[in-house]
Amino acid sequence: MTERARELWLDRVREFAQTRVAQAAAAWSLGAHPSPDFYADAAQQGLFGIEVPTELGGVGFGFAEKVLVAEILAAADFGFAMSVINTQNIALRLSISAPDAVKKRFLPDLLSGRTSACTALTEPGAGSDLAAVATTAKSSGDGWVLNGEKSWIINGRHAGLALVFAQTDKTAGLSGLGAFLVDCSSDGVTRYAIDSGFSQTSIGTGGFVLSEVQVERDKLIVPPGLAFRTIMEEINGARVYVAAMCCGMLDAALETATSYGHTRSAFGRKLKDHQAWRQALGEAETELAAIKALTAEATRRIACGQDARLAATQAKIAAVEAGQRHLPVLLHAMGAEGLRPEHCLARHLGALQTAALADGANALLKQQVAKLSRPTIPTPEA
Ligand SMILES: Cc1cc2nc3c(=O)[nH]c(=O)nc-3n(C[C@H](O)[C@H](O)[C@H](O)COP(=O)(O)OP(=O)(O)OC[C@H]3O[C@@H](n4cnc5c(N)ncnc54)[C@H](O)[C@@H]3O)c2cc1C
Task: For ligand 1, say whether the CB of 363 is within 6 Å of any of its atoms.
Answer: yes
Indicate the pTM of the whole model.
0.96
pLDDT band at 376 (very low <50, low <70, confident <90, very high): confident
Q: What is the pLDDT of residue 189?
A: 98
- Checking 16-24 for CB contacts under 8 A at 24+ apart, the result is 16/41, 16/42, 16/45, 17/72, 17/73, 17/75, 17/76, 18/75, 18/76, 21/73, 21/76, 21/77, 21/80, 22/75, 22/76, 22/77, 22/344, 24/77
- The rounded percent of the chain whose pLDDT value lies above 70 is 99
Q: What is the mean pLDDT of residues 254-272?
A: 98
Task: For ligand 1, say whether the CB of 231 is within 6 Å of any of its atoms.
Answer: no
Q: What is the pLDDT of residue 140?
A: 93
CATH number of 118-223: 2.40.110.10
Question: Percent helix, strand and coil across the chain, each rounded to 5?
Answer: 60, 15, 25
Q: What is the pLDDT of residue 200?
A: 81
Which pLDDT tens digit goes with each residue over 116-128? 999 999 999 999 9
How far is the CA of 283 from the CAs of 250, 287, 290, in angstroms?
A: 12, 6, 11
Mean pLDDT, the chain, integer: 96
Say whether 228-373 and 118-223 share the same fold: no
Can you identify the CATH homologous superfamily of domain 228-373?
Butyryl-CoA Dehydrogenase, subunit A, domain 3 (1.20.140.10)
> How far away, in angstroms, is 357 Cα from ligand 1 center?
5
Q: What is the pLDDT of residue 179?
A: 98
The residue extents of the domains of the chain are: 3-115, 118-223, 228-373
Best mutation site among 80, 123, 152 for ligand 1 pocket (most ligand atoms within 8 Å of CB): 152
Task: For ligand 1, say whether the CB of 341 is within 6 Å of any of its atoms.
Answer: no
Q: What is the pLDDT of residue 197?
A: 80
Q: How far apart are CA 67 and CA 111, in angstroms?
A: 18
Does residue 8 or residue 376 have the better pLDDT?
A: 8
Task: For ligand 1, say whether the CB of 364 is within 6 Å of any of its atoms.
Answer: yes
Task: For ligand 1, say whether the CB of 119 is within 6 Å of any of its atoms.
Answer: yes
Q: What is the mean pLDDT of residues 124-142?
A: 94
pLDDT band at 381 (very low <50, low <70, confident <90, very high): low
Q: How far apart are CA 277 and CA 262, in angstroms?
A: 12
- Nearest CA, atom 41, ligand 1: 364
| 3-115 CATH fold | Butyryl-Coa Dehydrogenase, subunit A; domain 1 (1.10.540)
Which pLDDT tens digit goes with each residue over 83-105? 999 999 999 999 999 999 999 99
- Hey, CA dihedral for 163, 156, 232, 169, is it positive or negative? negative
